[in-house]
Amino acid sequence: MKLNYNYDGNIACKRILEDQLDKLKIEYQILGLGQIEINDDLSLESFEKLQLELERYAIHIINNPKIQLIQAIKDAIIEIIYDKDKFPSSTISQYLSEKLKFRYGYITTLFSEYTYTSIENFIIIQKIERAKKLILAEELSLTEISYELNYSSVAYLSTQFKKVTGLTPSMFKRIVDKKRLLSKKKNK
């Protein structure tokens, strides 16, 4: 039997963190994406156990301040894209500068230096990944998806979608629908 599944990576990661921290009896508070505050002093042994357990799930504790900032940039962007209420009324550049307490020029230079892509490109890729998930969920029309992702029009969403995936959103949806139909026929 073949099972198909869908998951939200952010929620999955949060649950893994909670499970591992609880298992090790570490008191904590999750501050947001990519950040946890440990309430008590953590022994080296507990820290190493936690690090080992998290690495099983490809979750790594970051010690380098520059890499921490890059992760904070990614987390802030993902938060904006997945939570429409978080979308800034100002520009994303101003939002990131205020949230992270660094000049945008420094943020973009550091991001590009470590990730080999621009923040703008990262935003586009994340928006298209979100669009694909929304198309797969089959709950919203392309017009609603473009609105949800703060695009000015379906045409603009389609242009960026095609640049990233090589397909228009409509073509992507047809391919997914065809695969679902074939899978249903196969399972009968």
* Beta bridge partner(s), residue 32: 35
pLDDT for position 86 = 64
152-177 burial, b at 16+ Cβ within 10 Å, e below that, comes to: eebeebbebbeebeeeebeebbeeee
What is the model's pTM? 0.71
- Where are the domains positioned within the chain? 1-61, 123-187
Q: Do residues 69 and 63 touch, judged by C-beta distance below 8 A?
A: no
Rounded to an integer, what is the distance from CA 43 to the centroid of its chain? 31
Query: Within 10 A of 147 (CB to CB), how many other CB atoms are there?
Result: 16
CATH architecture of 123-187: Orthogonal Bundle (1.10)
Q: Do residues 161 and 128 touch, judged by C-beta distance below 8 A?
A: yes
pLDDT for position 89 = 65
Print pLDDT tens along the chain (188 aa): 677 777 777 788 888 988 988 998 888 888 776 778 888 887 888 888 888 988 998 888 877 888 889 989 998 999 888 876 666 666 888 989 998 999 999 999 999 999 999 999 999 999 999 999 999 888 889 999 998 898 889 999 999 999 999 999 999 989 988 888 888 777 76
pLDDT for position 112 = 95
State in Å, rounded, how far the first CA of the chain is from the last one. 11
SS3 label, residue 95:
helix
